[in-house]
A and B are shown apart, each in its own frame.
Chain A
Amino acid sequence: MLWDRKKIKSILPQREPFLFIDQVIEIEGVEKVVAVTQLSGDESFFKGHFPHKPVMPGVLLIEAMAQASIILYSIAKPKVVSTNPDYYLGKVKSEFLAPVYPGDKIVVESNAVKILDNAAITDVVAKVNDKIVAKANLVFSIQKK
């Protein structure tokens, strides 16, 4: 593990129950970050989505991908991140390829397409047991407070 939850919380503004990154396990320069989310099965969203067949909502997979992308952004742009900016997801192109169930360990790989001071694009894949469960291209803006 390269980053633990404490280090992750020093970068991500999200907090439980909306923090979807547990560990960062790989960093390749400013190009790629690999992060992990371990689902316990006790997450509140599983209670309603769905009562008899719990499946992780796709929008929350996108959120996990966005959080991994913020971590990648923080490595590429530490000076901007040190100002504690706001992050706004602007555009998402996504595909969901397989369901994610309680207990799954999600590995999220975020790859830089273009990172600037005020905006970034990443290509992200989420995998469970080495199988791709979702892909997304994210465009987000970074705004200093």
Chain B
Amino acid sequence: MSIEAEIREMVSEITEVPVEKLTPEADFFKDLNVDSLKAIEIVAAFEKKFRIIVPENDIPKIRNISQIVEYTKNIKKD
């Protein structure tokens, strides 16, 4: 499974939005009704899956699946 597919599945589970509706650019807050609690759940699940820590200042920059995938790639480069 690709990283993007894994992330979509993870976000789908938390947001209860079907995977097929999770387009790469769908904004968590505007399009998917993600609130602050679901946002922290997404971040915590993401951290657990990739064994990383996302600094609090970076969280507002991650607003869609595409940005999570990009964030993961940048971490792997580091």
Interface of A, helix, strand, loop or mixed by DSSP: strand
Task: Take A116-B56, A116-B59 as given contacts and tell me if A121 and B36 are in contact as well, using a CB distance cutoff of 8 Å.
Answer: no
Residues of A contacting B40 in the complex (Cβ-Cβ under 8 angstroms): 114, 116, 119-121, 139
Residues of B contacting A90 in the complex (Cβ-Cβ under 8 angstroms): 37
Residues of B contacting A120 in the complex (Cβ-Cβ under 8 angstroms): 40
For chain B, which range describes its interface: under 10, 10 to 19, 20 to 34, or 35 or more residues? 10 to 19
- Interface size of A by CB at 8 A reads 13
Residues of A contacting B37 in the complex (Cβ-Cβ under 8 angstroms): 90-91, 119, 139-141
Task: Tell me the nearest residue of chain B to A90, going by C-beta.
Answer: B37
Alpha-carbon distance between A137 and B37 when the two chains are bound, in angstroms: 13
- Answer whether residue B43 sits at the interface, using C-beta atoms and an 8 A cutoff: yes
A114–B44 CB distance below 8 A = yes
Pick the most buried of A119, A120, A139: most chain B CB atoms within 10 A of its CB: A119
- Answer whether residue B70 sits at the interface, using C-beta atoms and an 8 A cutoff: no
- Answer whether residue A118 sits at the interface, using C-beta atoms and an 8 A cutoff: yes
